[in-house]
């Protein structure tokens, strides 16, 4: 593994114990697979009806005998007879055009001309009992699940609002030894209830032409029926194909879709240093334990700067700073921790939506995202859905909260006495992500998870102190006024070493007005005030030698602070040795 993964990705991993106070290989064809899951009526065609109460129109989609698909959109309140007449006209017109032999006649035909009634195919809709549905019945009532649409001699079983794939994508970059997780969206169903089949190309010959290669056979991959697929070295140089059937948890399935990868599987980087930590996180935690991960994953916009390439990460090969490569490593590392809660910083919006969100969702984690103002990156919190449910979110931007929330009036008035500090503070897009989670096993057990990324500048300690004061005041309001006695986990990238006022304030509960962290080299930016908060917080991982190791700096900037009255530390990950980081 290239040093990039631990050269700049700041990781904190720990397991927290809840104290008693918290007890509140063969070639396969798709049609070989389908009959086993589609239920009854295997010989009857489908008429797929989408009817949503909030929308004025419904749609009917059918595949005709000539293989062409017809889509019909009609008002839900329209009488059924008008919809059937439109279907008859469209189908009959298509057959009439096919029968014409003269291209000139086809070109001159008016597509809007109705087909003579004598040439129309009979079109009827029958109930499950075989009775014809009256033509004056509104569409929304007529097109029921299980009814039968009869067009001429062909019968179509109506499936109303079946599970439907509205989006299906594969990652652009595929590497052997790293999980492949499709991005998918399902209407009238869920990703957790879909069925999957993975295939790989049988053979890739580099001397073949593109057209010949495209005709290669697909072979079902062993153990290729899960949502996540792990390519091996045997797949290097071969493309992958996924067949997905949407489901809804009630053994109801929609139409399948298949998707081929853009490029072949590439060789991976070999053993990664995080795999040693995975030895201690092979299983998810038992009830009463919470495994917590905090990680600054470096936004792509910052990884591509000249400063990143030449100063911060000069030991990294250029390819290892590429987003596609880093995402493969991230997905494997984060998934391997089997965490209950993951808090990430510097998450590109596109990475959350298209990569990490779908990937971690496949591993059982629900994701929440808070973008920074005027930025393309932000904060992400993931929680294990079979362990927690989300009660509420209370995210804020520090600058906006200071200006608008009465909670911070005293602090706002004090900051206003120093215009340069106020201006600098209000320019920052730093944010706080606050999520209140509830145990799936015991609704009386809740936890407040706060995730943040404070101002980055080494000389901005006074700004960080104000930001964290706003954060703790806001969290106090959430807990005291809405969820009394709920324990707190506050984590993220604080950009503050253990010797700074920010760490002292969070860890000890107060900071004096004369603390050196209030000092500024610029006289006009000198600002100081005593601060205090109500929480009994401690760093779950202590004060490790570093959480950030880059060219020219290594130190502890990232923390998982826990409520010491309610939570205790069960286990933390060992500190990686520097030589492992630089020589991996």
Q: Scanning the structure block, which residue is given the tokens 């493309």?
A: 239
Return d(Cα 162, Cα 147) in angstroms, integer: 14
Q: Of 87, 76, 89, 193, whose CA–CA distance to 143 is shortest? A: 76
Return d(Cα 84, Cα 134) in angstroms, integer: 11
Return d(Cα 517, Cα 361) in angstroms, integer: 41
Q: What is the DSSP letter of 540?
A: T
Helix (H) or strand (E) holding 432: strand 431-439
Cα dihedral value 213, 218, 219, 222, nearest 10: 100
CA–chain centroid gap for 32, Å, is 32
Return d(Cα 417, Cα 318) in angstroms, integer: 47
Q: What is the DSSP letter of 534?
A: S
Would you call 344 helix, strand, or coil by DSSP? strand
Beta bridge partners of 389: 438
Beta bridge partners of 123: 151
CA–chain centroid gap for 445, Å, is 26
Would you call 452 helix, strand, or coil by DSSP? strand
Paired tokens of 273: 């240093």
Would you call 583 helix, strand, or coil by DSSP? helix
Cα dihedral value 531, 556, 352, 235, nearest 10: -170
493 is catalytic: yes
Q: Which of 493, 558, 563, 576 is catalytic?
A: 493
Residue 40's CB: how many other CB atoms inside 10 A?
8
- Beta-strand pair 154-160/45-50: parallel
Angle between helices 419-427 and 461-482 (to 10 degrees): 70
Torsion sign, CA atoms 135, 158, 90, 95: negative
Region of 41 (left: φ > 0; alpha: ψ -120 to 50; beta: rest) is left
Active site residues: 493
């Amino acid at each position: 593994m290239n040093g990039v993964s631990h050269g700049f990705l700041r990781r904190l991993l720990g397991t927290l114990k809840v104290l008693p106070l918290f007890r509140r290989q063969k070639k396969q064809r798709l049609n070989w697979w389908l009959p086993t899951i589609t239920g009854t009526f295997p010989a009857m065609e489908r008429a797929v009806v989408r009817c949503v109460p909030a929308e004025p129109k419904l749609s009917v989609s059918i595949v005709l005998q000539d293989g062409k698909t017809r889509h019909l959109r009609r008002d839900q309140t329209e009488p059924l007879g008008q919809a059937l007449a439109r279907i008859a006209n469209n189908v009959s017109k298509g057959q009439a055009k096919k029968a014409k032999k003269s291209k000139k006649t086809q070109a001159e035909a008016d597509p809007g001309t109705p087909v003579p009634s004598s040439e129309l195919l009979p079109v009827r809709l029958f109930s499950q009992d075989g009775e014809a549905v009256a033509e004056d019945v509104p569409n929304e009532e007529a097109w029921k699940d299980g009814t039968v649409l009869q067009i001429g001699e062909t019968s179509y079983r109506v499936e109303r609002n079946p599970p439907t794939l509205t989006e299906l994508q594969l990652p652009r970059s595929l590497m052997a030894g790293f999980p492949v997780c499709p991005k998918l969206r399902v209407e009238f169903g869920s990703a957790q209830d879909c069925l999957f089949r993975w295939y790989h190309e049988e053979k890739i010959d580099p001397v073949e032409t593109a057209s010949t290669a495209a005709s290669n056979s697909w072979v079902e991959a062993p153990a290729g029926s899960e949502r996540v697929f792990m390519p091996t070295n045997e797949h290097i140089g071969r493309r992958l194909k996924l067949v997905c059937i949407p489901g809804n948890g009630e053994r109801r399935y929609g139409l399948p879709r298949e998707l081929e990868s853009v490029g072949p599987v590439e060789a991976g980087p070999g053993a990664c240093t995080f795999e040693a930590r995975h030895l201690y996180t092979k299983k998810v935690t038992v009830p009463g334990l919470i495994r917590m991960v905090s990680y600054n994953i470096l936004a792509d916009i910052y990884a591509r700067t000249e400063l990143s390439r030449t100063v911060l990460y000069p030991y990294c090969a250029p390819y290892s700073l590429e987003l596609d490569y880093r995402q493969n490593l991230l997905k494997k590392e984060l998934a391997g921790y089997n965490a209950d809660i993951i808090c990430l910083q510097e998450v590109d919006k596109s990475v959350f939506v298209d990569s990490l969100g779908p990937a971690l969702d496949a591993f059982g984690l629900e994701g929440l995202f808070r973008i920074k103002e005027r930025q393309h990156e932000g904060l992400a919190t993931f929680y294990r859905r079979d362990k927690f449910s989300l009660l509420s979110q209370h995210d804020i931007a520090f600058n906006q909260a200071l200006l608008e929330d009465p909670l911070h009036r005293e602090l706002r008035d004090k900051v206003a006495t120093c215009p340069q500090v106020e201006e600098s503070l209000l320019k920052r897009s730093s944010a706080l992500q606050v999520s209140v989670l509830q145990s799936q096993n015991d609704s009386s057990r809740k936890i407040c998870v706060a995730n943040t990324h404070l101002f980055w500048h080494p000389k901005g300690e006074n700004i960080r102190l104000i930001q964290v004061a706003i954060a703790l005041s806001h969290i106090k309001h959430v807990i005291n006024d809405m969820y009394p006695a709920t324990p707190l986990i506050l984590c993220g990238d604080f950009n503050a070493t253990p010797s700074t006022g920010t760490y002292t304030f969070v860890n000890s509960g107060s900071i004096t007005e004369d603390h050196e962290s209030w000092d500024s080299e610029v006289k006009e930016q000198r600002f100081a005030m005593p601060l205090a908060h109500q929480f009994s917080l401690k760093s779950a991982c202590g004060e490790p030698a570093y959480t950030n190791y880059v060219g020219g700096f290594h130190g502890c900037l990232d923390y998982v602070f826990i409520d010491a009255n309610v939570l205790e530390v069960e286990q933390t990950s060992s500190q990686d040795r520097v030589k492992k980081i630089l020589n991996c």
